[in-house]
Amino acid sequence: MSILNRNKILLVHPLGYQATAAGKDISRVTNIMPPLGLASMAAYLEQRSMGAEIIDCYAHPDSDRAIADYLRSETPAFIGFSCTTSSFLDGIRIAKIAREALPGIQTIFGGPHVSALKEKLFEDYPAMDYAVVGEGEETLASLMRNGGEAPGEVKGIIFRDKGLDAVCFTGRPAKGLELDTLPFPAYEKLQGFPKAYLLPIFNYPKVPNTSCISSRGCPYACSYCDRSVFNRTFRYNSAEYLYEHLRYLRERFGIRHINFYDDQFTFNRQRVEEFTDLILANPLGMTYNCAVRAEHIDDALLKKMKRSGCWMMSLGIETGDEQLLAQHRQNADLDMLATKIRMIKAAGIRTKGLLMMGLPGETEESIRRSKAYVFSLPIDDFNLAKFTPFPGSPIYENIHELGEFDEKWEEMDCMNFKFVTKGMTRERLEALFLNFYRSHFARPKVLLGYVAMLWRSPHSWFRFLKSLTSFLRYICVNRRLMADKA
């Protein structure tokens, strides 16, 4: 048996399905986001003289051999997985491969799926040795420091206590990390970065580009959002830290556009004002996108953000039916939201609406209202997701009372209608979903907007044409499925 290096870990981002299907996954064709959580943990561990490497199976499918080869050559004592609901079972599969390749290795699982379901997972998945609940950096470092020999002393983990023949949770740490004390994520450990990672098509003006997270958590409690990792806490980097982070990406990797992957980028107005002041005083030659909530933007702030390089803003609309929206989130004021969207557009910032179809209580009438509402607004782009009740979201607790739920984790990726609300059918939801998109792309002003991307985002058009076969295949498959069901 190999002597394992207790000071080293391999961090893995599972693909979530068979590697042979990666080329047919339209969501992967249009967007490959770097696993920033793993990159942050790797940087944190390296800063504390622990070895950490990353293999991103999502960006590089068919990585099983690379994982096995690394384990045999480097003999790390630990392998860690960051898992969403749809990728969890693939993480379990890889954990079994790891144990075969390197007997004695200890497996550590983290991510939203694990933080939501906690001890329940250990009953059915013996490939799990540990789970990290919540924030991972310090918990993982503490577990590695003691070599897994005294897990009960490490806050934030679940482990199998062989002496008690029980699964134990040590409880969450007393407080979260100060985000400004963290090193920048170890982007350099992501194979092919930044070229291997691309933002959604038509969502950026320049390459290379990447994502950045400048806050953790969200103070709101929408029914459909999983808050199991950070609960309802909200912490953020200072404007100074954020500016230095962008400067690092610009100077080290040549990044020209950033997508802030925060839930609420403008929640703290003063921070954003200070950040824009820094950018305006010392330009970096970069543009950026961010997601905002309508309550936390105003005309003066928008104009300043535009001057500092804000290229696009995304807003969670969810549904254009105000009564349905009020069942699932606070401050369901569609008139106010429409005013703010027009304000963003007037500031010269590209606008993107984020919607869901199939929420509990959805009807054909509410979908018609959503379409009419969205089409009445100056939205340049939108993303319509298929509602999925994730573990950790408030609505998950009683979801079976609200409709039919086919809880297949590997298909819970917002690309499938796994939940069907009462009064609807899966076939009808699929038909209405396709009709929504077809109606959007049939509008002349929308088509003209995409033509304008020829000079506003030429690289997007290059990617679109390069992947045209994949897009056409996706459309044909969906039409065929609808015809078969009809």
Kindly state the average pLDDT of the residues 393-419: 95
- With cut-offs at 50, 70 and 90, classify the pLDDT of residue 358: very high
DSSP string, 324-349: HHHTTSS---HHHHHHHHHHHHHTT-
Do residues 351 and 456 both lie within one domain? yes
Instruction: With cut-offs at 50, 70 and 90, classify the pLDDT of residue 412.
Output: very high
Tell me the pLDDT of the chain averaged across its residues: 92
Same domain, 249 and 375: yes
Q: How far apart are CA 479 and CA 472, in angstroms?
A: 11
Residue 339 in any domain: the answer is yes
pLDDT per residue as tens digits for the range 425-435 = 999 999 999 99
Q: Is residue 186 part of a domain?
A: no
Statement to judge: residues 284 and 421 lie in one domain: yes
**Residue 280's domain is classified under what CATH number?**
3.80.30.20
Say whether pLDDT at 438 is over 60.
Answer: yes
- Cα separation, 354 vs 24, in Å, equals 23
Q: Which residue reads 């000071």 in tokens? A: 7
Distance CA 393, CA 69 (A): 38
pLDDT at 194: 97
Residues 212 and 101 in one domain: no
Q: Is 308 inside any structural domain?
A: yes
Task: Check whether 480 has a pLDDT greater than 70.
Answer: no
Structural domain harbouring 90 = 5-169
Report residue 484's pLDDT band, with 50, 70 and 90 as the boundaries: low
**Helices marked H in 87-232:** 88-101, 112-117, 120-124, 137-145
In-domain check, residue 181: no
In whole angstroms, give the CA distance from residue 236 to residue 219. 12
What CATH number has the domain bearing residue 133? Answer: 3.40.50.280
Q: Count structural domains, the chain.
A: 2
Residue 482 has pLDDT above 60, yes or no: no
Q: Are 407 and 387 in contact (CB under 8 A)?
A: no
Burial class for 294, CB neighbours closer than 10 Å (0-12, 13-18, 19+) = buried
pLDDT tens per residue across span 51-86: 999 999 999 999 999 999 999 999 999 999 999 999
Q: Are residues 385 and 281 part of one domain?
A: yes
Q: Measured between alpha carbons, how far is 281 from 188 in angstroms, rounded to an integer?
A: 29
Task: State pTM to two decimals.
Answer: 0.93
Burial 168-180 (b: 16+ CB within 10 A, else e): eebeebeebbebe
For 350-378, what is the mean pLDDT?
Answer: 96
> Quick check: 479 pLDDT over 80?
no
Does the residue 22 lie in any domain? yes
Last residue of a domain, one of 169, 189, 222: 169
In sequence order, what are the residues at sequence separation of 6 or more whose Cβ sits closer than 8 angstroms to the Cβ of residue 189? 39, 42, 52, 53, 54
Structure tokens at 271: 């921070």
Q: Say yes or no to pLDDT of 109 above 70.
A: yes
- Identity at 169, one-letter amino acid code: F
> Are 448 and 320 within one domain?
yes
pLDDT surpassing 60 at residue 486: no
pLDDT of residue 470: 67
